[in-house]
Chain A
């Protein structure tokens, strides 16, 4: 992993809202960030809607490992590939 701008994979496992906040923040220094929601659907809350707007401003299109969501779905194989391709995997 080289110094400078990185390709980061952020796994949103424990707290989806916080993961969105961290993902948007990580783009500030030019990192390419992929955000993957895991463990369950993203709750429909005003706080999450606000963070989703921040993701949009940060050019992050979130993905999910949860089936039947209105987001791009990552199968286990695709998730494994994303982990291999990333410079760093951050799990929140």
Chain B
């Protein structure tokens, strides 16, 4: 996998949407992990609509419950174990 994107800020969507579209255009393989109040970025419907392009899109279950309670999550719920696994398989890691 080319890239893991860690999202830990709620206002990441304006940067993420064009970035993910560009990654898709160039055929990159990427995964994304949402943690802390970064899970709030998934409120952006345009961003949430791009998640199907990811090799894996995971939100920290602990963080999701903390900030979104019982709301339905648009990506897979996982844990910091998933984050560690994704970090192992990514050629590069960036954080937003």
Point out residues on A near B: beta carbons under 8 Å. Answer: 1, 3-6, 8, 14-15, 18, 21-22, 24-31, 88-92
Q: Which single member of B81, B90, B91, B92 contacts A25 (CB below 8 Å)?
A: B81
Question: Given the complex, which residues of A lie within 8 Å of B93, measured CB to CB?
Answer: 8, 88-90
Interface size on B, residues (CB 8 A): 20
Other than the known A21-B80, A28-B80, A28-B81, what 20 A-B pairs have Cβ atoms closer than 8 Å? A3-B88, A3-B91, A4-B88, A5-B88, A14-B9, A18-B36, A21-B62, A22-B83, A25-B79, A26-B87, A28-B84, A29-B81, A29-B84, A29-B85, A30-B88, A88-B87, A88-B90, A88-B92, A90-B93, A90-B95
* Complex contacts, B89 vs chain A, CB 8 Å: 3
Q: Is the interface of A mostly helix, strand, loop or mixed?
A: mixed
Q: How far is the CA of A89 from the CA of B80 in the complex (A)?
A: 17
Q: Which B residues contact A (CB, under 8 angstroms)?
A: 6, 8-9, 35-36, 62, 79-81, 83-85, 87-93, 95
A92: nearest residue on chain B (CB-CB)? B8
Q: In chain B, what residue has the closest Cβ to A88?
A: B93
Is the Cβ of B8 less than 8 Å from the Cβ of A14? yes
